[in-house]
Structure 1
Amino acid sequence: MDSVELQARLEALTHEHRDLDVAIDALRARVGHDQIQLARLKKRKLRLRDDIAHCQDMLIPDIIA
């Protein structure tokens, strides 16, 4: 992937991560919310965070000291 594709992927992942924040908050606000669904959303959010970190690492070159 080139830097343009990585930047686009990073933006998409970040947007999805924010959307999951909203979905998790909405699910928590409901009375008697589904714990399994909440756990799945949180797990997906963690995977996205790892993917975001990976994309950021690929965009920032290593500096050899």
Structure 2
Amino acid sequence: MAERTRVVERNGAWGLLMLMAYIGAAIYFIQRTDGGFWPVVLALLQAIVWPVYAVHAMLGALSVG
């Protein structure tokens, strides 16, 4: 009989946190558009990479780069 291996994933809380962060960023970026189709698509894409905007703003505030 083959030995069974049990794998336990414990990253559920991080997944929920990342989903909530994406939804919040999507709402923020969509509110800044005029409501057209392509601006909303661009806003959703921006919501995916919102940490880049946060790091850029932080480095700008610290006068680095």
Shorter-normalised TM range: 0.3 to 0.5
Q: Which has the higher contact order (CA 8 A, sep 6+)?
A: 1
Length-normalised TM-score, structure 2: 0.42
Length-normalised TM-score, structure 1: 0.42
Max radius of gyration: which structure? 2
